[in-house]
Amino acid sequence: MNDADKPLSLPEDLDGERLAEAALGILSLTLHDGRVWKALDWDLMDLLYQKGWIFDPVSKAKSIALTADGERLARALLLKHFGKC
């Protein structure tokens, strides 16, 4: 079985189609010559940092830590915008 044949492992209470569309839209923020980065736009990451939802994104790490406020909001916002009604 190749990766394209594997079922998605998204939580069943989320709308995968809407999530895919949102992810593509966010990826487009880094579009250049028909390619996008596999990470979020730096200006968007800075906005999340300014809001206090993530710790300083400027580092060599490939991951970012959520603040306590960011953790509380993350799932609530996910369900608000992409939950199945």
Residues 54-73: pLDDT tens digits?
Answer: 999 998 888 999 999 999 99
User: Which residues have a Cβ under 8 Å from the Cβ of 14 and sit 6 or more positions away?
Assistant: 78, 79, 82, 83, 84
What's the pLDDT score for residue 8?
66
Q: Is residue 42 part of a domain?
A: yes
Q: Which residues pair with 83 in a beta bridge?
A: 14
**pLDDT tens, position by position, 8-40:** 688 888 999 999 999 999 999 999 999 998 888
- Total domain count, the chain: 1
Asked whether residue 5 is assigned to any structural domain, the reply reads no
Domain with 20, as residue range(s), is 13-82
Q: How far apart are CA 31 and CA 54, in angstroms?
A: 24
Cα-flanking dihedrals φ and ψ of residue 32, to 5°? -155, 125
Distances (CA, A) of 49 to 21, 43, 74: 24, 10, 14
Q: Is pLDDT of 77 > 80?
A: yes
pLDDT(50) > 70: yes
Q: Is residue 43 part of a domain?
A: yes
Q: Is there a domain that residue 45 lies in?
A: yes
Output DSSP code: residue 2.
-
